[in-house]
Chain A
C-alpha cells in the first residue's frame, strides 16, 4: 500500500509534482522484478506433461526394441546341430551345458532327480534322432533368413516364407511387409481421393446447409470402432465385391484395403478440410473477381495454397493405415503370401503381431521376431512422418516465397 501512495499523489496533482520524483517511481516500478509463482508453476506443469508424452514414446520404443534386441544382434539361434548323447555321456557334462542341451535352466536342472534326468536325456536323444529334415540345422532367425529368400527342402526355388509354427519355423518378414504395403496402398488409393475431394467440396463448394450435415457425418465415421468396420467388411463388403468382380479369394487386400480406407477417410478429411478452410478468403475472392468458376478456384487456387496441410493429412492417413490392426486382421484373409495382386489375401505386420503374440513362448525366437516386427513398424511410420514433415516444411516455404 505504501508503495502505491506516491502514484496517487502524482495523479492527483499532475504537473505539480516534480518530474524527477515521478521518474524515479516509474523506474523503480519497472525494475523491481516480481516473482509470479502461479505462472511459473503452471508453465512448468504444462512443460512436464508435454515432456512426459515424449518420454512415454521413447520408453515404449525402448521396451519393444529391447525385446527384439537379441534378434537384431543376431544372438538367437534355433538351429538343431547337437548330436544325440547317451545318458552316460550326458551325466559327465557340466551342469550348464547339460541344461542347455535339454533346454531347461540350471536351477530347474538341480531340482531333478537322476531318474527324471535320464528320461529327459533319452527323450532329447529320441527327438534329435527323429529330425530327418536337413533344414533343421539352419538358424532361421538370422537376418539373412528373415529378409532374403531361401530354397527350403522340397521347394523348387528360393522363396520368402512366413511359417513360424511349422516343424522348421520360417520367419521371413518380406510377405508381411508386402501385405502391409498392399493393404495400405489400397486404403490410400481409396481414401486420399475421396477424403480430399470431400474436403474440397465441403470447404469450398457446398452450401452452408449441406456443409452442416456432411461435415459432422464424415467426422462421425472416425467414431466407428474398427472392429465394427472389420465386421462389416468381413460379412457385407467381401460378399458384395466378390459378386461384382468374381475373384477367387473372398477376403483379400482389396476388401481389407477398402475397409481400412473407410477408417482413414475421416482422418484425411478432417485435417484437409481444416487446411482448405484456413486458406485466406482473399485468394478465392481474387480468383472469383477474375472470372474463375468456383471449382476452378477450389482446384487451382485454394488446393495449391492448402497443399502442405493436405499433404500432412495424407501422411497421417498413411500412419493410421499402417498401424490399423483389427480391420485387416478380420478382412484381409491373413495369408502370408508374396503376390503383387490385390485380389490375393494378404497378412499385415500388425495383424501378425495381434494374432500370434498371445501364443508364443515367452522369450523364444518367435516372440522376439514379433517384437522385431513391432520395432520395424515403428521405424517405418516414424521415418515416413519425418520425411512427410520435411516435405510439408518445404512446401510451406515455397508458398511463403522464402
Chain B
C-alpha cells in the first residue's frame, strides 16, 4: 500500500458536551479524491475541518484520537497550525472571495508565503486561474472586484486561490451546494484534473457527485463511520445495509 497522506485512527470529537465523531478511522491516499457522504449532522464536515484544524476556531471543542499527516500527529503541541494550513488548503461551502480585486484575491495567499515580485505573482496567478478553468473568463478584468463575479465563478476563484499556494491536499466542503448544474459540472470536471496534482477530500450531499468525482467514499451516520471503501464498491455493492439504504435513496 502506498504511503497515506492522512491517517485517522479512533478519532473522537466534541462540541462542548456533544460528541460529534465516534471512533472514526479513515485513510486518505495521495493523488486520489476521497468523498465523505452522509445525511446532515453526521460529522462529515467536522472531520474535514479536523484535517486543517479549522475546528480550533470554534470555542470549547475537544478532540481525541489520532490524525497524522505523513505520520506526524496534527494535534501534537509542536505543530504550527499556520504551516499546516499552508499545506492543506480548503474550499468552503459558500464561496468567500475577499472584497478585493480578482488579482489580489489570489495574490493574497502568495504574498503571505513571501511571493512579492510582480512577475512571479502574475505568472502564478495565471497558472492557478488556468487550472481552475477561470482564466479565459477573467483574463481581461483581473483588476475588477471579485464580488462582481457570478456564484460559480466566485467558487472557481476560491479554488484558484486555494491551489495558487500549491498545497498538498485540497479540502472541499460541499463546494457545489450553492451552484447551478452547469457550474457544478465545471467544478466536477476541475476536480478530476486537480487530482493529478493534489490529494482531494470532498464533502458532499450529492451522492451522484460523490460517485462521479471520488475514488474512495466514506459513509457517515450519526458521527460514526459506517463504511469506507472504493467508490464503485460503495455505490454498487455496499457491505453495510445502512449504506445501501442511503446510496439508493431510501433514507437521508
Interfacial chain A residues near B86, Cβ < 8 Å: 290-291
Contact in complex: A401, B144 (CB < 8 Å): yes
Interface assignment of B242: CB less than 8 Å from any CB of chain A: no
Interfacial chain A residues near B144, Cβ < 8 Å: 401
Given A290-B112, A401-B99, verify A285-B54 contact (CB < 8 Å): yes
Given A291-B112, A301-B98, A398-B145, verify A208-B54 contact (CB < 8 Å): no
Shortest Cβ gap from B89 to chain A (Å): 7
Contact in complex: B158, A286 (CB < 8 Å): yes
Interface assignment of B165: CB less than 8 Å from any CB of chain A: yes
Interfacial chain A residues near B57, Cβ < 8 Å: 285, 288
- Distance of A301 Cα from B104 Cα, bound (Å): 11
- Distance of A285 Cα from B148 Cα, bound (Å): 21
Interfacial chain A residues near B89, Cβ < 8 Å: 289-290
A172-215 contact mask (Cβ, 8 Å, vs B): 1 or 0: 00000000000000000000000000000000000010000000
Interface assignment of B146: CB less than 8 Å from any CB of chain A: yes
Contact in complex: B112, A296 (CB < 8 Å): yes
Contact in complex: A291, B82 (CB < 8 Å): yes
Besides A290-B89, A290-B109, A400-B99, 11 other A-B contacts (C-beta < 8 A): A287-B108, A289-B54, A290-B85, A291-B85, A291-B109, A291-B112, A399-B145, A399-B147, A401-B99, A401-B145, A401-B146
Interface assignment of A282: CB less than 8 Å from any CB of chain B: yes
Shortest Cβ gap from B56 to chain A (Å): 9
- Distance of A305 Cα from B98 Cα, bound (Å): 8
A257-301 contact mask (Cβ, 8 Å, vs B): 1 or 0: 000000000000000000000001011011111111100100011
- Within the complex, which residue of B146, B147, B162 is in contact with A289, where a contact is CB–CB below 8 Å? B162
- Distance of A290 Cα from B85 Cα, bound (Å): 6
Interfacial chain A residues near B54, Cβ < 8 Å: 285, 288-289
Interface assignment of A164: CB less than 8 Å from any CB of chain B: no
- Within the complex, which residue of B87, B100, B148, B165 is in contact with A304, where a contact is CB–CB below 8 Å? B100
A-B pair number, CB within 8 angstroms = 77
Interface assignment of B96: CB less than 8 Å from any CB of chain A: yes
Contact in complex: A300, B85 (CB < 8 Å): no
A385-402 contact mask (Cβ, 8 Å, vs B): 1 or 0: 000000000000011110
Interfacial chain B residues near A286, Cβ < 8 Å: 92, 96-98, 158, 161
Interfacial chain B residues near A301, Cβ < 8 Å: 98, 108
Interfacial chain A residues near B158, Cβ < 8 Å: 286
Contact in complex: A287, B59 (CB < 8 Å): no
- Distance of A286 Cα from B155 Cα, bound (Å): 12
- Distance of A287 Cα from B84 Cα, bound (Å): 13
Contact in complex: B92, A290 (CB < 8 Å): no
Interfacial chain A residues near B147, Cβ < 8 Å: 399-401
- Distance of A280 Cα from B158 Cα, bound (Å): 16
Chain B residues numbered 123-152 whose CB sits less than 8 Å from any CB in chain A: 144-148
Given A282-B96, A283-B96, A285-B57, verify A290-B161 contact (CB < 8 Å): yes
B113-124 contact mask (Cβ, 8 Å, vs A): 1 or 0: 100000000000
For A282, A305, A401, which residue has the most chain B Cβ atoms within 10 angstroms? A401
- Distance of A400 Cα from B101 Cα, bound (Å): 10
Interfacial chain B residues near A400, Cβ < 8 Å: 99, 145, 147
Interfacial chain B residues near A282, Cβ < 8 Å: 92, 94, 96
Interface assignment of B83: CB less than 8 Å from any CB of chain A: yes
Interface assignment of B74: CB less than 8 Å from any CB of chain A: no
- Distance of A292 Cα from B81 Cα, bound (Å): 10
Interface assignment of B32: CB less than 8 Å from any CB of chain A: no
Q: List 10 A-B contacts (CB under 8 A).
A: A282-B92, A285-B54, A285-B96, A289-B90, A290-B162, A291-B87, A292-B109, A293-B112, A401-B144, A401-B145
Q: Contact size class for B?
A: 20 to 34
Chain B residues within CB distance 8 Å of chain A:
52, 54, 57, 59, 82-87, 89-90, 92, 94, 96-100, 108-109, 112-113, 144-148, 158, 161-162, 165
Contact in complex: B98, A287 (CB < 8 Å): yes
A127-148 contact mask (Cβ, 8 Å, vs B): 1 or 0: 0000000000000000000000
- Distance of A288 Cα from B81 Cα, bound (Å): 10
Shortest Cβ gap from A154 to chain B (Å): 62
Given A305-B98, A400-B99, A401-B147, verify A285-B112 contact (CB < 8 Å): no
- Distance of A290 Cα from B105 Cα, bound (Å): 11
- Distance of A280 Cα from B99 Cα, bound (Å): 11
- Distance of A288 Cα from B112 Cα, bound (Å): 11
Shortest Cβ gap from A298 to chain B (Å): 13
For A292, the closest partner residue in chain B by CB is: B112
A26-60 contact mask (Cβ, 8 Å, vs B): 1 or 0: 00000000000000000000000000000000000
Contact in complex: A208, B96 (CB < 8 Å): no
Interfacial chain A residues near B165, Cβ < 8 Å: 290-291
Contact in complex: A291, B83 (CB < 8 Å): yes
Contact in complex: A305, B52 (CB < 8 Å): no
For A208, the closest partner residue in chain B by CB is: B59
Contact in complex: B82, A293 (CB < 8 Å): yes
Shortest Cβ gap from B54 to chain A (Å): 6
Interfacial chain B residues near A289, Cβ < 8 Å: 52, 54, 85, 89-90, 92, 162
- Distance of A246 Cα from B54 Cα, bound (Å): 53
Contact in complex: B82, A280 (CB < 8 Å): no
- Distance of A286 Cα from B99 Cα, bound (Å): 12
- Distance of A296 Cα from B94 Cα, bound (Å): 22
- Distance of A296 Cα from B162 Cα, bound (Å): 17
For A283, A291, A400, which residue has the most chain B Cβ atoms within 10 angstroms? A291
Shortest Cβ gap from B22 to chain A (Å): 26
Interfacial chain B residues near A401, Cβ < 8 Å: 99, 144-148
Interfacial chain B residues near A280, Cβ < 8 Å: 96
For B86, the closest partner residue in chain A by CB is: A291
For B144, the closest partner residue in chain A by CB is: A401
Interfacial chain B residues near A304, Cβ < 8 Å: 99-100
Interfacial chain A residues near B96, Cβ < 8 Å: 280, 282-283, 285-286
Interfacial chain B residues near A288, Cβ < 8 Å: 54, 57, 85
